Amino acid sequence: MALASPLTPALIRLPGVCTQVGLSKSQIYRLIRSGEFPAPVRLGPNSVAWPVEHVQAWIADKILASAGQMP
């Protein structure tokens, strides 16, 4: 499996998102409904994934916000 470079779009499934952001599945979907977390991309009738760069941007925004700096 090749590693994704910054120029290569990559998708991450829900278990990976949960691990990266430290939130549960229900917390993530609650944040999506409130517009506070990026929505997933539909891969098929029963599967979704998130663009890695959207998840990383959300994490970076949270870090900046906790430091008192808003983007």
In angstroms, rounded to a whole number, what is the distance separating the alpha carbons of residues 62 and 19?
Answer: 16
Three-class secondary structure of residue 69 per DSSP: coil
pTM: 0.81
* pLDDT tens track for 39-56: 999 999 999 999 999 999
Provide the residue ranges of all domains of the chain, joining segments of one domain with +: 13-66
Confidence bin at 5 (pLDDT 50/70/90): low
Residue whose token pair is 């990266």: 20
Look at residue 59 in the predicted model and tell me its pLDDT. Answer: 96
Three-class secondary structure of residue 23 per DSSP: coil
Segment 65-71 shows an average pLDDT of 76
Indicate the DSSP class of residue 1. Answer: -
CB atoms within 10 A of CB 48: 14
